[in-house]
């Protein structure tokens, strides 16, 4: 990480826009999980690894004026963005902290939260067990943890054109290993919850399959266009490999019957005993 403790995918204006698009495309999945986790009005909720706070503001609407939402992220730039964008009238206020998820205890009191939400956070944390331990410590008895993360990132696939897929997977996963990211972390989340005093209530597989006509096509498209040039600069893809991947991706978008298969994810809901 840089001295600014920057998110591995970046925190510049382009990444802010990409994250906003990503949240809009996945807001239905987030809302469904919050309902199943029984997040609701009057609760004190934590959006851990909140980024620029797009999900945070939705949680504020859910918690309402009698609730409270804590936003926590490693990036000061993201936290500044959260603070600069107030919630809508009738929503819960936001308490924002620039903090490492491994050090949550320095800002959040023990047994003070009704719910904790982590979406695509654990696979970018060097010590997922410590993050789950910190979340469990902050939850009240009966409070709930809701996690969405990757359990088989290698499951990313597209067709019928797919000659460059092995190069793409290798380049991205190598870049993730560089920052100690575990792209299959979802497979150990239930065990981590049980280890730290959280009773697993629900484990649900989550994946998406879509065509170029589906709005979700913009999700991988924006990710590839933003992140692949970054990892090429870091030497994980050559210029020729990057060009070949993007040319195939562009052609795929114009191919009749083209399909994109998102990486396999897992949703976990657990309750503090």
pLDDT of residue 9: 66
Q: What is the DSSP letter of 211?
A: -
Q: Which residues contact 273 (CB under 8 A, 6 or more apart)?
A: 141, 197, 198, 199
From residue 173, alpha-carbon distances to 3, 12, 195, 208, 216 in Å are: 23, 22, 28, 20, 22
User: CB–CB of 158/94 below 8 Å?
Assistant: no
Convert the pLDDT of each residue in 217-267 to its tens digit: 999 999 999 999 999 999 999 999 999 999 999 999 999 999 999 999 999
Token pair of 266 as six digits = 């897992």
CA dihedral (205, 206, 209, 213) in degrees, to 10, reads 160
Convert the pLDDT of each residue in 115-145 to its tens digit: 999 999 999 999 999 999 999 999 999 999 9
- Strands of 22-171 (E only): list them: 44-48, 68-73, 94-98, 113-119, 139-152, 157-159
Q: Average pLDDT in the 13-26 region? A: 93
Single pTM value for the model: 0.94
Helices (runs of H) and strands (runs of E) counted in the chain: 8, 10
Reported residue count of the chain is 273
Q: Could you tell me which residues are beta bridge partners of residue 149?
A: 266
Rounded to 5°, the CA angle 179-227-241 comes to 100
User: CB–CB of 144/270 below 8 Å?
Assistant: yes
CA-to-CA distance for 92 and 234, rounded, in angstroms? 41
pLDDT of residue 159: 97
CA atoms within 13 A on the CB side of 108: 37
Kindly indicate the confidence band of residue 8, based on its pLDDT and cuts at 50, 70 and 90.
low
């Amino acid at each position: 990480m840089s001295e600014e403790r920057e998110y591995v995918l970046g925190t510049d204006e382009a990444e802010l826009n990409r994250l906003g698009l990503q949240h809009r495309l996945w807001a239905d999945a987030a809302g469904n999980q919050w309902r199943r986790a029984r997040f609701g009005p009057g609760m004190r909720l934590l959006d851990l690894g909140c980024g620029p706070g797009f999900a945070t503001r939705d949680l504020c609407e859910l918690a309402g004026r009698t609730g409270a939402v804590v936003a926590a992220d490693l990036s000061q730039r993201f936290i500044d963005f959260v603070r600069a964008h107030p919630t809508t009238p009738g929503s819960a206020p936001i308490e924002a902290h620039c903090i490492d998820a491994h050090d949550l205890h320095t800002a959040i009191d023990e047994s003070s939260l009704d719910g904790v939400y982590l979406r695509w956070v654990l696979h970018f944390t060097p010590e997922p067990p410590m993050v789950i331990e910190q979340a469990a410590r902050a939850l009240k008895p009966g409070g709930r943890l809701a996690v969405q993360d990757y359990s088989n990132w290698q499951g990313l696939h597209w067709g019928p054109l797919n000659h460059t897929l092995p190069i793409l997977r290798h380049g991205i996963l190598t870049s993730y290993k560089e920052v100690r990211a575990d792209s299959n972390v979802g497979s150990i989340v239930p065990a981590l919850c049980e280890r730290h005093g959280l009773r697993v209530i629900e484990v649900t597989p989550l994946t998406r399959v879509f065509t170029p006509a589906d709005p979700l096509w913009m999700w991988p498209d924006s990710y590839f266009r933003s992140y692949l040039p970054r990892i090429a600069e870091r030497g994980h893809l050559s210029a020729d490999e990057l060009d070949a991947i993007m040319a195939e991706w562009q052609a795929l978008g114009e191919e009749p019957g083209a399909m994109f298969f998102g990486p396999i994810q897992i949703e976990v809901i657990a309750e503090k005993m």
